[in-house]
A and B are shown apart, each in its own frame.
Chain A
Amino acid sequence: MAERRLVWLAVGLIVAVLVFMTWGARGNWGFVFTFRGTKLLALLVVGAAIAVSTVLFQTITANRILTPSIMGFDALFLLFQAGLVFVLGGFGVTQLSSGLRFAMEFALLMGAALLLFGTLIGAARHDIHRLVLTGIIFGVLFRSLTSFIERLIDPNEFAVVQSSSFASFNSFDADLLRYCVPLCVLGISAAWHYRRELDVIALGRDHAVNLGLNHKRAVLIILIIIALLVSVSTALAGPVTFFGLLVASLAHLVVRSHRHATLLPAASLCAGIVLVGGQAITERVLSLSVPLSVAVEFLGGLVFLTLILRGTQR
């Protein structure tokens, strides 16, 4: 049952990819294929990274509402962008090389993630509940500082903050992709490697310990995987805040399974469909006048609500 649904998702993704690659192509095909191919690769990798990290996060925190993005990582990213413009000025920011900026963002997010997870894991009793709350609190803190900066800067500088506040998949630095893709693949394969342990963790801490799992160590490893995936995908593309929540929930709705061997690919496939389809729509229908995350959150959100409401009617 779950496997058959996976196949359907895969078919959906193939259709989305075909539409994305061929719709409204202009100019010579060689260019269009390489150009769109690069974007496609980035979309799929980032989508899978967000999907996998969200599923992992929800498993170890035993909740289906919070994701690393909602908990404060996106807020930190946005504060960083606004702070950068505040300090360097809008023009100064646009002159930074994309490689340097990526390295700074990646280091910042990774550092924050490890600090947040590390201090809590290091404490005598480790307490996921507190971890989540701490994340939420920092998220609100970052957001309120960001909005203060947005209050002060002039409209032109705001425009610079704005353009880096939304995920963009329109153009990618091929050099960046060369580093990001292997990192994401590494994280995703590690997650796949631990799929059985994840099934056990999902049963709750006591069960997991009774079943002989070194719970603390396993959680730590998974937190590191999450930190890696979140940092790489956010630094590469920018935040798509509700995307993780959306695809993880969609995956649960579609496959209705608690096995990570099914859940992880299902979430990744959903992510691929939503991102690739969303990008095709932003490019062709909305002619790039709005960021992808808007289309993703709007359309994906509607799909999610419809599924929930139809599911409850039965």
Chain B
Amino acid sequence: MSLPVRSATLLALLGLAAASLFVGVIDMAPSQLLRDSEALKLIAISRLPRTLAVILTGASLAVAGVIMQMLARNRFIEPTTAGTGQSAALGILLATLYAPGAPLALKMGLASLTALLGSGIFLLIVRRLPVTQPLLVPLVGLVYGAIIGAGVTFLAYRADLLQYVSIWLNGEFSGVIAGRYEFLFVSGVAAVIAYLAADRFSILGLGRDASISLGLNYNQMLLLGLVVVSVITALTVVNIGMIPFVGLVVPNIASRLLGDNLRSSLPFVAASGAGLVLVCDIVGRIVRHPYEIPVGTVFGVVGAVIFLWLLYAKRPSHG
């Protein structure tokens, strides 16, 4: 990627992050920062955590999307396809039903664990599938997710908790505040690990036989990839909720613009993921001020428009 593009992306991201610090219910101008200790406190408690959470979420989800698509060798797979979201919902439900008094952090931790466990089981199933039928992976993923989803509905329906789960998993940053988002740094770390192993993931995307003949430990890389994807998805879903399209739109834009060399495209993917989610979160805070529109909804609309434009404005490469 050329230097101008790179610096433009970075500048745009920084600008958005700065804007995000000064958008919120309580009026606060940048000038107040210098003389008002209340303003600094507000930044520290509310605005900065929120902005960081948005950046971490957007960047890592976009990276997870790229890795997932490499693993499945399918451009239209989202990281949540492996039953991760449903497993997280199951964890939230079980914690709410059987340990209603447990602290929020514990519930979130438990939900992250079940999400990881859910993805782990998916991995075990995938490893038993014949390599000759790559189509089976997403198919099994969908059915697997549906089974866990049915379990969630079963429990939630009987306990009248469907709306509770639905709202918890509705992607939004309104609940983010210092002390409520720090898990997300772990998913940031997972995204960095993915970047460090980027070259090997690129090879993985060529398929099993090609990777093995190029000397890659195929199974080990597959495992690493799925762990990265699961950690990111699990933590995001539990802490923020589902944000549609980030893992789908951004990787597709990136691969159109930059091709499939992950080492050069991953930073761009991460930055545009973060930038897009930031834009949507800021819009969600402004449109119905002082109330909020969840970022998942804003991104659902924006992402749909971008994706449709991509699909119809240019001749698709797979035409």
Point out the residues of chain A lying under 8 angstroms from B130, CB to CB: 312
Cβ A144 vs Cβ B153 within 8 A: no
Point out the residues of chain B lying under 8 angstroms from A70, CB to CB: 142
Cβ B166 vs Cβ A147 within 8 A: yes
Measured CB to CB, the closest approach of chain B to A275, in angstroms, equals 15
Cβ A137 vs Cβ B308 within 8 A: yes
**Segment touching A, from B13-21, B30-38, B156-164, B217-225:** B156-164
Q: Is A105 an interface residue (CB 8 A)?
A: no
Q: Is A172 an interface residue (CB 8 A)?
A: no
With an 8 Å Cβ cutoff, the count of chain A residues facing the other chain is 49
Q: Is B244 an interface residue (CB 8 A)?
A: yes
Cβ A298 vs Cβ B143 within 8 A: no
Cβ B147 vs Cβ A290 within 8 A: no
The one of B135, B144, B170, B312 in contact with A151, judged by C-beta atoms closer than 8 angstroms, is B170
Which secondary structure characterizes the binding site on chain A? helix
Cβ A246 vs Cβ B244 within 8 A: no
**C-alpha gap A145/B302 in the complex (Å):** 12
**C-alpha gap A289/B146 in the complex (Å):** 19
Measured CB to CB, the closest approach of chain A to B80, in angstroms, equals 11
Point out the residues of chain B lying under 8 angstroms from A309, CB to CB: 125, 128
Interface members, chain A 240-255 (any B CB < 8 Å): 241-242, 245-246, 249
**C-alpha gap A309/B125 in the complex (Å):** 8
Point out the residues of chain A lying under 8 angstroms from B76, CB to CB: 133, 136
Cβ B245 vs Cβ A140 within 8 A: yes
Point out the residues of chain A lying under 8 angstroms from B169, CB to CB: 147
Point out the residues of chain B lying under 8 angstroms from A140, CB to CB: 244-245, 300, 303-304
Q: Is A148 an interface residue (CB 8 A)?
A: yes
Cβ B139 vs Cβ A137 within 8 A: no
Cβ A241 vs Cβ B162 within 8 A: no
The one of B136, B160, B299, B311 in contact with A133, judged by C-beta atoms closer than 8 angstroms, is B311
Q: Is A36 an interface residue (CB 8 A)?
A: no
Residue of A nearest to B74 (CB): A65
Measured CB to CB, the closest approach of chain B to A106, in angstroms, equals 25
A contacts, CB < 8 Å to B: 63-65, 70, 125, 127, 129-130, 133-134, 136-138, 140-141, 143-145, 147-148, 150-151, 155, 158-159, 162, 166, 241-242, 245-246, 249, 289-291, 293-298, 301-302, 304-305, 308-309, 312-313
What are the 5 closest A-B residue pairs judged by CB atoms, nearest first?
Answer: A144-B300, A301-B147, A298-B150, A148-B297, A297-B150
